[in-house]
Structure 1
Amino acid sequence: MANKLEGKVALITGASAGIGLATAKRFASEGARVFITGRRQVELDQAVSEIGHGAVAIRGDVANLDDLDRIYAQIKEEAGRLDVLFANAGVYEFGTFGEITEQHFDKTFDVNVRGTLFTVQKALPLLVDGGSVILTGSIASFKGYADFSVYNATKAAIRSFARSWTNDLKPRHIRVNSLAPGHTQTPGLDTLVTPEHKAAMIDATPAGRLATGDDLAKAAVFLASDDSAFISGIELYVDGGVAQI
């Protein structure tokens, strides 16, 4: 059976760890030529060694427009086009309402919203007609988790982007979808929550466990491939049922 992404050129932002890294591995194993970005060179080098298949890492911060220009210039020179863009880079941290700082607000919106917008907009000249754009959303886009209001709002913006850009890009038949993880085991989770909080997450999830990066990666392959050719503008929940009941 042919690889689902054979011959496609893909960029995954925020791919030095977690969901992004797991997806890069899946994309590469499915035949894609993979470019990844991240802010830390050491972690990017390690990621490239794990991904294999000729993956290329380009260091950069999606909140820095000059970095985005440099990233796309290199992809244009080396590959000439993009078939798949997975705008995955994001940050999350608690911010208690009543104590939210400008720094917390600016950091979260700069990366999650501003960074995503310009990641996609600056990719448009490279994206092929009929290509696939995947945005990392979250069940937080509508759940309203306490102490997370700024993050929740950024993910609601991502959901809105998927709808709006589907309409904007209709003439080029570029599909835009939001991939919405539920409670997911990532390197940052253990530093954010207590073991008791994590146990509560698992207890609330009908699947009885946290998602893995690979759970999200398999869904991303679906959205990137021709298997989802008639799917656009959706929010695909990969959450073990936690936000559905």
Structure 2
Amino acid sequence: MRKIYVIGIGAGDPDHLTLQAAKAIGRTNVFFLIDKGETKQSLIDLRERIIRGYSHPHKRIVEGRDPDRDRTPADYTGTIAGWRHQRGVMLEGLIAEHLKEDEIGALLVWGDPSLYDSTIAILEEILGRGATTFAYEVIPGISSVSALAAKHRIGLNRVGRPFQVTTGRRLADEGWPEGVDDVVVMLDAQQAFTAHPDAEIYWGAYVSTEDELLASGRVGEVAEEIVKTRAEARERHGWIMDTYLLRRNVVEGGGIGEAAPQ
């Protein structure tokens, strides 16, 4: 049976590639790359650099065009479901046409495939239709969240305390999540951190790439500069991927006060 690797390739540094991932790339016959348009050519370039570095000389690269989607939809959940379906149909066609029954294919996923990535769900949808069959294996990678914490030299949690990973949309709509004082935020087009001026923020964009941007401090003091830097970077590159940790200051007993020592 055909097999597909879903390979986490890290947050942008080619050195993030694990030994497990490198071995899987070396066994792959066909690489499926999703083209997101000219403004994100650098994403394709890094994947191709990794493929050249670790694959065998007889590999094949097949590119598919990512379906367009509304970035500010009224029905977010329904829009994402429709986009995933369209991407699945496109990817299923590529697999059926280019991956032979005894071959291995691979999808190279930014960060880690388990964290805010649709690849696993899309493959399950394809298999659910029953027309195209294959086995697949997921290989973890270094997420942007892990890379962000390493760059700022911080832990994501404090002793005995939980943290939560959420989206900018949920932070903006629902406010600070209950029961946690440390919140990792991804996919924040709304820049929802600006509503929490007393929190500490550890922010990063294009983390672990040559274009990396970092900032930290009390939100009320650094928010304006982050917003400006983010807008300029998006204009310059045509896209942006950023992540941040919001840390509410607490004292022993759970009250809000001075930051706990790290």
- Is the pair's TM-score, using the shorter chain for normalization, greater than 0.5? no
Q: With structure 1 as the length reference, what TM-score do the two structures score?
A: 0.35
As a proportion of its length, which structure holds more strand? Answer: 2
Bigger Rg over Cα: 2
Q: With structure 2 as the length reference, what TM-score do the two structures score?
A: 0.33
As a proportion of its length, which structure holds more helix? Answer: 1
